[in-house]
Amino acid sequence: MENINLVESFSEFKEFKNIDRETMMRILEDVFRSMLIKKYGQDDNYDIIVNIDKGDLEIWRNRIIVEDGMSEDDNLEIEYSEAIKIEPDFEIGEEVTEEIKMKDFGRREILAIRQNLISKIQEYEKNNVYKKYSEKVGEIVTGEVYQVWKKEVMVLDDEGIELLLPKSEQIPSDFYRKGDAIRAVVLQVELRNNTPHIILSRTSPVFLERLFEAEVPEVYDGLITIKNIVRVPGEKAKIAVESYDDRIDPVGACVGMKGSRIHGIVRELRNENIDVINFTTNPELYITRALNPAKISSIKIDDETKRADVFMKPDQVSLAIGKGGYNIKLAGKLTGYEIDVYRDTDSYVEDVDLQEFADEIDQWIIDELKNIGCDTARSVLDISVKELVKRTDLEEETINEVVRILKSEFE
């Protein structure tokens, strides 16, 4: 067709837009009908035939033959003298169908058609991407790292759609280079200036839940239910599971033989430590399991304030608190109780290892005391404050505070 290379246009759109044949034909027809309405005021008497394979498009106009001088609308009617030039056998009242050539449109109109076509396709693609990923929220997707920035990583899926993994949704030890494969869960899809932005996450509890579904068939099939997940991404996670089938051990099924199932998840999460526990509606038992591996002597629970006072032997306190305080923090989040840990003085024997006070006394102070042979609480209390100042590099104020803490253990 003159003045517009539709073959070239179609192939171009097909290269960078993944649009099916039927949709492409509909878009093309809509664009040309909009042009006809703008030029002639209406499009009811036009037939548009699109052939994408050949890169061809035909526009046919239908008009009624009227007597010469009786035409009121040249777009809907054609005078008899003009009609017989097309076909000598035509008669008044018959319908004439003739093709509209592209040369009948001006250059400006043709450029407008092309621009409108590009705009319509882009709009369709944006809506298609938004709809597709809105339905994928909460699902794991795999992509390839395309570009790494300071605050986010751009990922391309297998269709070349751009996905974003913000720094805040990355595990702290995550490190990516262009070309790396990446797995993450679709966190949210939002429209910014009519453009869809797909946000991924590797820190969301949902990501861990989907990993369990992928690795543990019983979870995927619904035989095991995940009741709750709490995480400190890259450090530690706790997951409560339950099975309504007594024949299934939910914890054992999630961990797998010799940890075979959970190891893959741990590697994906950059060696995040994962505790899997049996869910229960008994709060005391639930808290006990959540604080594992620490052994508890007794628990006092206040259901109104959602507080739990947990008593345990001195050598179990550090286990309950865990490295960086993550164990007790996550246990509280998992169970919904604010947990306070106390040393059970009734179970105290004669002395307490100095290391058991690591949650109250800085490690460098403990090391300084150990350097002079004080490995237990009583070994420190048996030496006067003045002598301790002399033997160590500690300030008197610091030693007084240490003594106060140690003495409270024996009161």
Pick the CATH number of 136-201 from 2.40.50.140, 1.10.1270.20, 3.40.50.720, 3.20.20.30: 2.40.50.140
Helix (H, G, I), strand (E, B) or coil at 262: helix
Give the integer Cα–Cα distance in Å for 399 and 73.
Answer: 105
Judged by average pLDDT, the poorest of 46-60, 152-166, 221-235, 354-368 is: 46-60
Give the integer Cα–Cα distance in Å for 302 and 243.
Answer: 28
Pick the CATH number of 280-348 from 3.30.300.20, 3.40.47.10, 3.30.1490.190, 3.40.50.300: 3.30.300.20
Q: What are 272-331's pLDDT values in tens digits?
A: 999 999 999 999 999 999 999 888 988 999 999 999 999 988 778 888 888 888 999 999
pLDDT top residue among 372 and 351: 372
Q: What is the pLDDT of residue 347?
A: 47
Residues 6 or more apart in contact with residue 104 via CB below 8 angstroms: none
Give the integer Cα–Cα distance in Å for 55 and 11.
Answer: 8
| pLDDT over 90 percentage in the chain | 47
Which two structure tokens, joined as six digits, stand for 226? 């995940």
Give Cα 411 distance to the centre of its chain. Answer: 52
Cα dihedral sign, 242-245-246-252: negative
User: Residue 390 burial (CB < 10 Å; 0-12/13-18/19+)?
Assistant: exposed
Give Cα 132 distance to the centre of its chain. Answer: 14
Burial 245-256 (b: 16+ CB within 10 A, else e): eeeeebbebbbe
List the Cα angle 192/195/198 in 5-degree steps.
Answer: 80
Q: Domain residues of the chain, as ranges? A: 6-131, 136-201, 280-348, 354-410
Question: For residue 308, which of 272, 280, 284, 343 has the smallest C-alpha distance?
Answer: 284
- Strands 273-278 and 236-243, how do they pair? parallel
Determine the CATH number of domain 6-131.
Answer: 3.30.1480
Q: Which of the 8 DSSP states describes residue 376?
A: B
Q: What is the pLDDT of residue 323?
A: 83
Neighbour order of strands in the sheet with 307-312: 298-302, 307-312, 338-343
